Amino acid sequence: MSHTKELFRRHPNNPIITVDHLPYPANSVFNAGVTEFEGETLLLMRVEDRRGFSHLTVARSPDGVNNWRIDPEPTLMPDPVEHPEEIWGIEDPRITYIEERQEWYILYTAYSEAGPLVSMASTRDFKHFQRHGAVMPPEDKDAALFPVRFGGRWAMIHRPVSTFPSVAAHIWISFSPDLKHWGDHRVLIPARKGGWWDANKVGLAAPPALTDEGWLILYHGVRTTASGSIYRLGLALLDRDDPCRVIYRSDEWVFGPREEYELFGDVDKVVFPCGWVIRGDEVRIYYGAADTSLALATASLSELLDWLKHHSRHWSSES
């Protein structure tokens, strides 16, 4: 049964940031990492230039809705000299604040000649960035770190793609003693099959968020149709102490393209968040709309968790 009430409410100012807001010419601004920095909402936005290559630019706002101040120049450019894997740009950052290190860690897609891969950078001020290089070989993307360790090990969610065409693209989890060497890889959230909205291809959207019930996961599912792909969002919940255990996974999508700015753009029918801000009961997702602009939608955390519990009938933690 479908829910009658929409759980996410779109902001009336949507799209909140478009290419016209940028202080320099570009093609599009979309898929942004999100964090809170010095009391403001900070977006690390993917900007695609007019060659087709992406870089990252910071936007800050006191209330997360209005008065965005955008860096006058690109904040983080690809560095193909030191990092040849960034030759065709850097995309889709996900930001995790790691309290233990007092630093923000950013996992992003580096577009290499061998395909997209996962790269890592860290920063304390969103002005200076330390690059840690490629952490997963191609093809792999849609990655984020957990902010804490599990049994002494760091954990990362990511989405490798098999070279076997018949194998679906699943969400995986991997562990590391030092944020450099990764192993103990396993499938976390498999793409479903057949007619499901999230059949064949899924990927993490925002970084995992700790709630009283466990780690809340927002992920995208891709439906392939005769007129192209549809990118929609679903929810899952992971055990607080053992993030390999998926407690719930929504049967239905929770948010999908509906408004004109989501339906039509460089890539039609895409909603693509790379981050969220959860403060008290309010959840704000900042999402790329149709690979063209940035939009905002809000929800209630307790309503999302409640909905997830009641819409996970086809999922059991034993499966």
* Binding residue for ligand BMA, selected from 31, 96, 250, 292, defined by CB under 6 A: 31
Q: Which is nearer to ligand BMA, 10 or 232 (CB)?
A: 232
Is 53 one of the binding residues for ligand BMA (CB under 6 A)? Answer: no
* Binding residue for ligand BMA, selected from 92, 140, 198, 213, defined by CB under 6 A: 92
Is 90 one of the binding residues for ligand BMA (CB under 6 A)? Answer: no
Torsion of CA 12, 207, 96, 184, to 10 degrees: -170
| Separation between Cα atoms, residue 271 and residue 13, nearest integer Å | 16
Q: Which is nearer to ligand BMA, 136 or 301 (CB)?
A: 136
* Smallest distance, ligand BMA to C-beta of residue 234, A: 16
Binding string, 214-253, against ligand BMA, x = CB under 6 A? Answer: -----------------x----------------------
Give the pair of three-digit tokens for residue 51.
Answer: 């060659």
Q: Which is nearer to ligand BMA, 91 or 140 (CB)?
A: 91
Candidates 143, 201, 136; CA nearest to 170 is 201
CA–CA distances in Å: residue 97 to residues 128, 144, 193, 196, 241: 15, 11, 35, 34, 19
Q: Residue for token digits 């450099």?
A: 180
* Smallest distance, ligand BMA to C-beta of residue 32, A: 11
Residue 290 backbone phi and psi in degrees, to 5: 50, 35
Is 292 one of the binding residues for ligand BMA (CB under 6 A)? Answer: no
Is 91 one of the binding residues for ligand BMA (CB under 6 A)? Answer: yes
Burial degree of 79 (CB within 10 A; 0-12, 13-18, 19+): middle
Q: Which is nearer to ligand BMA, 76 or 179 (CB)?
A: 76
* Binding residue for ligand BMA, selected from 78, 221, 275, 288, defined by CB under 6 A: 288
CA–CA distances in Å: residue 258 to residues 239, 291, 296: 32, 14, 14
Give the pair of three-digit tokens for residue 84.
Answer: 């040849």
Q: How many residues bind ligand BMA (CB under 6 A)?
A: 9
Residue 17: CB atoms within 10 A of its CB come to 23
Give the pair of three-digit tokens for residue 37.
Answer: 């920095």
Q: Which is nearer to ligand BMA, 214 or 288 (CB)?
A: 288
Q: Please state whether the peptide bond connecting residue 73 to the residue before it is cis, i.e. omega within 30 degrees of 0.
A: no
Q: Which stretch binds ligand BMA (CB under 6 A): 15-23, 128-136, 144-152, 264-272?
A: 264-272
Three-point CA angle 107, 109, 114, nearest 5°: 135
Cβ-closest position to ligand BMA: 267
Task: Please tell me the total number of residues recorded for the chain in this structure.
Answer: 319
Helix (H, G, I), strand (E, B) or coil at 19: helix
Binding string, 122-161, against ligand BMA, x = CB under 6 A? Answer: ----------------------------------------
Could you give the residue ranges of the DSSP H alpha helices within 113-242? Answer: none
- Per CB under 6 A, which of residues 165..204 are in contact with ligand BMA? none
Q: Which stretch binds ligand BMA (CB under 6 A): 78-86, 176-184, 254-262, 267-275?
A: 267-275
Beta bridge partner(s), residue 44: 33, 58
* Binding residue for ligand BMA, selected from 37, 111, 197, 272, defined by CB under 6 A: 272
* Smallest distance, ligand BMA to C-beta of residue 192, A: 18
User: Which residues would be at the binding site for ligand BMA (CB under 6 A)?
Assistant: 31, 91-92, 231, 267, 270, 272, 288, 291
